Structure 1
Amino acid sequence: MPRLSEMVPPPVTRGLLRAVFGLPNPIKRLIAGRPVRLDGQQLDLDARLLLLMTRLEGGRLGAPTVEEARRGLQRGQTYLNRVPERAVGRRDVDAGGVPARLYTPEGLPEGSPLLVFYHGGGWVIGDLDTHDTVCRYLAVHADVRVLSVAYRLAPEHPYPAAAEDAVSAYEWAVANARDLDADRRAVAVGGDSAGGNLAAVVGVLAERRPAFALLFYPATDMTVRRRSRELFGEGFYLTDDDMTWFSDHYCPDVERRADPAVSPLLAGDLSGFPPTYLVTAGFDPLRDEGEAFARRLEEAGVPVAPRRQDDLIHGFVNMWSLGGRFQEALSEAAGALRTGLYAVPRRPRKPS
């Protein structure tokens, strides 16, 4: 049976979302039900409301088939298509054989910093379009160019394809920074979830260290089930079953899951990792492994700013257009990225 959202035109669904999330908080509390408190944290009201709507819709990240899962994420993002007011130019780029898209905010001078971004989706779903508004937001609010990378997806291309593409696209961006009107000394990597994993892999493996790493709730260890996966593995958007589904598609060879290019937390030496802003969500099965990676960076002497948005859920960067805490959290990350990259010594800008 088709979902309700498949039968309703996207503009109608977008209007409904705006209306619901624009309601006064007392009414939203009546709709969302009782507060959710777990592990000393209280779930944000808008996150509760979104989870309720997701449950009524019957959607989940994983699906009986890969094609259904990909369509589901793509459809969901068409409802969250708000963009920043500042215009952003886009053009397709061949990043050394890896398809990519370059975002340039209007008026940004040549020689700007550059973020190489990897989208989330469990290495199986997601694409340039599902994270278009995220890349626009980061470009505008961090005042940087963003190169979004369309790495190969599993199960058609299982590990190590995505990791290889991630490293290749980053190294191409550094080598061709001038052609991108960017400064090769200020090239960062970033991504969310599986994309955060790939950004971390680049930080571990790339010969030339990135200038900065922006990691949103990254998957960092495919070998261990941590406490957060038990606490938040059902009912908080990303589920335990979803994680198993993604892992089995991406790296079906269980013996290889301990490779640092799958589980960067297990890398032997992290002392060369770039300065990092790593943010987790309190109600996220991936929370504990992301925070374990931040601790390992600290122990290795890497400058790292760990941040837990303790009232939010996995995937909050894609939800920024709903406003509230979702947008606040992404704004904070954009500020950290801007600070981290503009503090890097760079070549002088050309006059406008």
Structure 2
Amino acid sequence: MSKLADSLPVGVLAGALRFAFGLPAPVRRLITGKPVVLDGQRLHPDAQLLLRLQQLAGQDWDTASPAHNRAALAQSSALVCGPVVEGVGVRPVRIPRDGGEIAGRVYEPVGLAPDSALLVFYHGGGWVSGDLDSHDNLCRFLALEAGVRVLAVDYRLAPEHPFPAAVDDVMVAFEWAVEHAADLRIDPARIALGGDSAGGNLAAVTALRAARAGGPKPVFLLLLYPAVDASSKRRSRELFGNGFFLTDAKMDWFRDHYAPEEASWVDERLSVLLADDLGGLPPTYLAVAGFDPLRDEGEAFAEKLAAAGVPVVLRRHEGLFHGFANVLGLGGIYREAVSEAVGSLRTGLALANSRQDLSETA
């Protein structure tokens, strides 16, 4: 991170960012420069402004070391996540696993009746960074706007805990949620899985493992720009691999820390797109960003789900870049994109409830 980004308190930087977004449109255009058009898409002016301001501040998702990367993500999250979403109660939980515990956090909208649906949410960060705090406001927003309880899972990170440690943790967390439905005050038959980026990968992998296990399964998948294939590079990585927050080089860096053995890159617990049969997965909402190196693999995954008979809604937010779900504090196009995902989650859970009622009366 640059001297400017390091020398000022996060609160001051966040205030300056909000001030810049409140400037008149002509002034914002002077800051951003001419429009960026690539692959038939125009980068949204708000996305272009954010990238330009990050560039001017010298702020980057540092990959000098895992510690630097985690600090950079924590800072950038604090800058753009916005004021704390109110009206949501939060409590910590501890999830037992072999040899230790997994930290979790339960989000519960104030006044929400018992036996609600649950979203088990896995944070992004390339399997190396991110934690309960980096995605706290996003989880608050999802809980409040969708009218559900949310269980956020602090799975183990690489390189200290390489693949498949995170895969094992998130599966344990899902099974724990089913078993402790009464304590969580949720309906075990209405559990959705969700996540962004690496978290989206883990959500899809967990759903596939649950389907293969023959036990309880999630009823809905909420995937935000998921990583689903570590074995190859598609055209979007060439087009958007530099200058749009997540770069091609950073993607290799994350993968190599998480899965240092090349043989694991084709393992379906990492590259879920390569699984032979996706037919057991639940209805899915999958959002990608137009200016994201991960765009094409996410869209390929949606196509494969549809071919397997899985109900899937694919949404490409053409003008946005990777990580937009955490930019709630700047409102506008970012909040609209997350709100659309929330609407899909609400609909998916309502339909799951309707199917459950029909099966009980049949």
C-alpha distance in 1, partners of 2:239/2:15?
34
* Preserved contact between residue 240 and residue 285 of structure 1 (Cα < 8 Å): yes
C-alpha distance in 2, partners of 1:184/1:316?
30
C-alpha distance in 2, partners of 1:287/1:81?
23
C-alpha distance in 1, partners of 2:11/2:168?
38
Pair 1:67-2:67 in alignment: yes
Range that drifts further, 259-268 or 55-64: 55-64
* Matching of residues 98-117 of structure 1 within 5 Å: 98-117=102-121
List runs of 5+ in structure 1 lacking aligned partners: none
Pair 1:335-2:339 in alignment: no
| Corresponding residue SS for 1:189 | strand
C-alpha distance in 1, partners of 2:311/2:81?
34
In structure 1, what is the equivalent of residue 332 of structure 2? 324
* Preserved contact between residue 236 and residue 314 of structure 1 (Cα < 8 Å): yes
* Preserved contact between residue 116 and residue 186 of structure 2 (Cα < 8 Å): yes
Per the alignment, do residues 79 and 203 of structure 1 end up closer, same or farther by CA in structure 2, a change over 3 Å counting?
same
In structure 2, what is the equivalent of residue 78 of structure 1? 78
Render the CA deviation track for 1:227-282: whole Å, top value 9, x for unaligned. Answer: 00000000000001110100000000001111110000011111000100000000
* Matching of residues 1-352 of structure 1 within 5 Å: 3-83=3-83, 86-96=86-96, 97-206=101-210, 207=213, 208-345=216-353
Give aligned pairs, total.
348
Shift of 1:25: 1.8
C-alpha distance in 1, partners of 2:169/2:104?
11
* Preserved contact between residue 62 and residue 246 of structure 1 (Cα < 8 Å): no
* Preserved contact between residue 5 and residue 58 of structure 2 (Cα < 8 Å): no
Task: Give the residue type in structure 2 aligned to 1:55.
Answer: Q
Shift of 1:53: 1.3
Task: Give the residue type in structure 2 aligned to 1:185.
Answer: A
Task: Give the residue type in structure 2 aligned to 1:193.
Answer: S
List runs of 5+ in structure 2 lacking aligned partners: 358-362
C-alpha distance in 1, partners of 2:41/2:79?
28
Range that drifts further, 52-61 or 25-34: 52-61
C-alpha distance in 2, partners of 1:72/1:259?
30
Task: Give the residue type in structure 1 aligned to 2:57.
Answer: E
Render the CA deviation track for 1:286-338: whole Å, top value 9, x for unaligned. Answer: 00000000000000000100110011000000112101111100000011011
User: Alignment identity in percent?
Assistant: 53
Superposition misfits of 4+ residues, deviation over 2 angstroms:
57-62, 80-86, 345-348
Range that drifts further, 21-30 or 180-189: 21-30
C-alpha distance in 1, partners of 2:30/2:185?
51
Shift of 1:59: 2.8
| Corresponding residue SS for 1:95 | strand
| Corresponding residue SS for 1:343 | helix
Per the normalisation by structure 1, the TM-score is 0.96
C-alpha distance in 2, partners of 1:30/1:71?
31
Task: Give the residue type in structure 2 aligned to 1:303.
Answer: P
Per the normalisation by structure 2, the TM-score is 0.93
| Corresponding residue SS for 1:200 | helix
* Preserved contact between residue 85 and residue 140 of structure 2 (Cα < 8 Å): no
Shift of 1:60: 2.6
Per the alignment, do residues 28 and 6 of structure 1 end up closer, same or farther by CA in structure 2, a change over 3 Å counting?
same
Shift of 1:18: 1.1
C-alpha distance in 2, partners of 1:3/1:306?
40
C-alpha distance in 2, partners of 1:276/1:302?
8
Task: Give the residue type in structure 2 aligned to 1:90.
Answer: V
C-alpha distance in 2, partners of 1:247/1:57?
27
* Preserved contact between residue 113 and residue 342 of structure 1 (Cα < 8 Å): no
* Preserved contact between residue 86 and residue 106 of structure 1 (Cα < 8 Å): no
In structure 1, what is the equivalent of residue 360 of structure 2? none
C-alpha distance in 1, partners of 2:237/2:310?
26
Range that drifts further, 94-103 or 237-246: 94-103
C-alpha distance in 2, partners of 1:313/1:258?
26
